[in-house]
Structure 1
Amino acid sequence: MSEAILEAPAAIQKLRENRPNPHYRPLIFVVAPFTEVVKHNRQTLAEVRDYCHYIHELGGIPICPQLYFPQFVNLHNYHDFQVMNFICIVLLTKCEEVWSFGEPTRDMNFFIKKAFKKDIPVRYFSSEMEAW
């Protein structure tokens, strides 16, 4: 599953240890319900923004494709969706960790499995941002 369960602040602090730049911020890939964001579910959008804000406040850089790509990619177009998935995987490989928020959905599990295949640590958090 994931590394030892650490609360989010401790996890970010651990990623920042022994870095020559005191302002270093690790890239964190945010795994959240992609389908609900694409459907413009306002509650889900607000929650995903909160997850990103939380990571930012702790000193990380949230990488959250589900907030970014729907702004300019037609995710209902199969080709665009496939290209977007490829780009998401590229972004995921640049991140130090993957943080999954809430109960993983089918689309979330896709990115979690990719992270495991790429040996990128995955941390799990409830929708209230508590480690589990």
Structure 2
Amino acid sequence: MSERKKIFICSPFRGDMTGNSVRAAGYCRRAYEEGCLPIAPHLLFPQFLDEGNLKERADGISMGLELLMECDEIWVFGEPTEGMEQEIWFAVEHGIHVWFRDGKGEKEA
């Protein structure tokens, strides 16, 4: 068994949580189809954390950053939100490769 590249999926969640979850699942599918292992905390943590509770939201972001430390790359989809910006800056500070992917082309950070 070969080890797959671990990809942290960074995309909007707040606002249209249902639509954003569907889009995030699609981004995960894209990573999977490219032979990668997608990591999307914003699809998992809302299953048991309350996004409206400030402490639980902060805990979710913190746990997501712990997962990000184990990833090879972060793929950013959509216009960065406040939470996404935290993930992007964390990746940059820790030397994790950042790709901005939007379907119209890609660029590295």
Q: Under TM normalisation by the shorter chain, which class is it?
A: 0.7 to 0.9
Deviation of the 1:70 alpha carbon: 0.5
Task: Name the CA distance, whole Å, in 2 between partners of 1:131 and 1:52.
Answer: 16
Deviation of the 1:24 alpha carbon: 2.1
The DSSP-based 3-state class of the residue aligned with 1:30 is strand
Deviation of the 1:79 alpha carbon: 1.7
Aligned partner letter, 1:105: T
Which of 18, 33, 38 is residue 41 of structure 1 equivalent to?
18
Count of residues paired in the alignment = 107
Is the aligned partner of 1:27 residue 2:3? no
Aligned residue in 1 for 2:55 = 79
Greater C-alpha Rg: 1
Contact kept, 8 Å, 1:101 with 1:129, in 2: the verdict is: no
Task: Name the CA distance, whole Å, in 1 between partners of 2:61 and 2:77.
Answer: 19
Structure 1 length normalisation: TM-score?
A: 0.74
Contact kept, 8 Å, 2:13 with 2:21, in 1: the verdict is: no
Unaligned 5+ residue runs, structure 2? none
The DSSP-based 3-state class of the residue aligned with 2:100 is strand
Deviation of the 1:129 alpha carbon: 6.6
CA RMSD of aligned residues (A): 1.6
Contact kept, 8 Å, 1:33 with 1:104, in 2: the verdict is: yes
Task: Name the CA distance, whole Å, in 2 between partners of 1:103 and 1:81.
Answer: 20
Task: Name the CA distance, whole Å, in 2 between partners of 1:40 and 1:104.
Answer: 15
Residues 24/48 of structure 1: CA separation in 2 closer, same or farther (3 Å cut): same
Unaligned 5+ residue runs, structure 1? 1-20
